[in-house]
Amino acid sequence: MSKLTRREREKKVRKNEMILAAEKLFSEKNYNEVTMNEIAKESEFTKRTLYQYFPSKEDIYFAVTLEGFKNLYNYCQKALSKGDTGFNKIYHVCLAYYDFYKNNPKIFKLMTYIGYVKRNRGKSISYKEFRKFDTFMFNQLSELIKIGQKDGTIRPNIDPKKTTYTLIFLITGFFQQLSQSGESFTEFISMSEKVFTEFSLDLLLSSISIL
């Protein structure tokens, strides 16, 4: 891999500063309330310079969330070594998702807003990069299901692709709901958030296990 030129390094630094500024503003205010003018001011660049890197607010939003998903992926990768079967690896990946959610509440909240952000597919380079990484993560989880089917820990009669879609949908929805009302709910049922999360994940993942 060739080394970056000085100009390329400078552009990368500028871009990262813009992303950090956008993340700060998106975390402090409602996404719809943030403007490109504010992001430019926060990052200490002109609006013209900002638009050279990001053609729209949607584009920079996906750049922010992409960094969040990359961080989540790192959590999951570290968790894989804790499992010795396909099923156990998936279970520890789910627990890693919980750790990420607890340690990164601001970026997690932004990541759950994806469904509400208009996608300018034709112009948004960041969206295309996000979709590419999202597909990569999807394929990684699907492969874990196949591994579990081969080692006899996951039901052989379920479709890996459909199961992956379902797990992602349910687990993402669970943590999104947990972030909104988890504290009051777990207090009501007299259970710690961690214990409730582990119980819920056990219940969900038992649907794919043959043990």
Q: What Rg value do the Cα atoms of the chain yield, rounded?
A: 19
The answer on 140 and 47 residing in a single domain is no
Amino acid 31: pLDDT: 87
Is pLDDT at 1 greater than 70 in this prediction?
no
Pair (60, 144) in one structural domain = yes
Q: Decide if 211 is inside a domain.
A: no
Q: Which contacts qualify for 35-38: CB closer than 8 Å, 24 or more apart? A: 36/60
pLDDT range class, residue 100, cuts 50, 70, 90 = very high
pLDDT in tens, 53-89: 999 999 999 999 999 999 999 999 999 989 899 999 9
Q: Note whether 179 and 105 are within 8 A (CB).
A: yes
pLDDT above 80 for 158: yes
- Over the chain, what is the mean pLDDT? 91
Domain span including residue 43: 1-53
- Kindly tell me the sign of the dihedral angle through the C-alpha atoms of 66, 67, 72, 73: positive
Residue type, position 6, single letter = R
| Residue 101 and residue 15 share a domain | no
For the chain, report the end-to-end CA distance as a whole number of angstroms: 45
- Taking the model in full, what pTM does it have? 0.86
CATH number for 95: 1.10.357.10
Question: 54: left (phi > 0), else alpha (psi -120 to 50), else beta?
Answer: beta
pLDDT above 80 (res 3): no
Residue 136 forms part of a structural domain: yes
Domain count, the chain: 2
Q: Binning pLDDT at 50, 70 and 90, where does residue 2 land?
A: low
The secondary structure of 91-134, three-state, reads: HHHHHHHHHHHHHCHHHHHHHCCHHHCCCCCCCCHHHHHHHHHH
Q: Are residues 16 and 83 in the same domain?
A: no
In terms of domains, do 69 and 16 share one?
no
Is 117 found in the same domain as 163? yes
